[in-house]
Amino acid sequence: MDSIDMMYLQTEFQLPAKSRGCHLVTREILAHLPALPQTGLLHLFLQHTSAALSLNENADPDVRHDLAAILDRLVPERQSYFQHTLEGPDDMPAHAKASLIGPSITLPITHGKLNLGTWQGIYLCEFRNRAGARRVVVTVCGA
């Protein structure tokens, strides 16, 4: 069996501040990626605890609206059992939603491009009312 030289590359960038909701950011992320290997994996990690990354519908914006509404209903603000309340009524629900969705996604790289399905796009799920820019760590491994 021939040995394959694996490459590993890591970089960081910022997504600009977004309003509360689910935002399709595939193009923004692609613009910040280094040259991709022919085959491999791309891992995106969001360095924040009140936002998340997700892979979902990229065509109909109603999906983004509905997903945000579902999450708001699952984790409503101003619950009497919340103890972490000093940073505003949206903060503790933002942490809970971020835990439900998660801070990272891993995507396949095929023929030097992301191998996304026809209707798949990358979302930044912003759960704070007044969030700042969000830092993303990109790790590429492949051959």
Q: Are 112 and 119 in contact (CB under 8 A)?
A: no
Query: Which one, of 23, 92, 28, lies nearest residue 52 by Cα?
Result: 23
pTM comes to 0.95
Residue 73 φ/ψ region, left for φ over 0, alpha for ψ in the -120 to 50 degree band, beta for the rest: alpha
- The one-digit pLDDT tens for each residue of the chain (143 residues) are 566 789 999 999 999 999 999 999 999 999 999 999 999 999 999 999 999 999 999 999 999 999 999 999 999 999 999 999 999 999 999 999 999 999 999 999 999 999 999 999 999 999 999 999 999 999 999 99
Query: Which one, of 124, 120, 107, 129, lies nearest residue 36 by Cα?
Result: 107
Q: Are 61 and 21 in contact (CB under 8 A)?
A: no
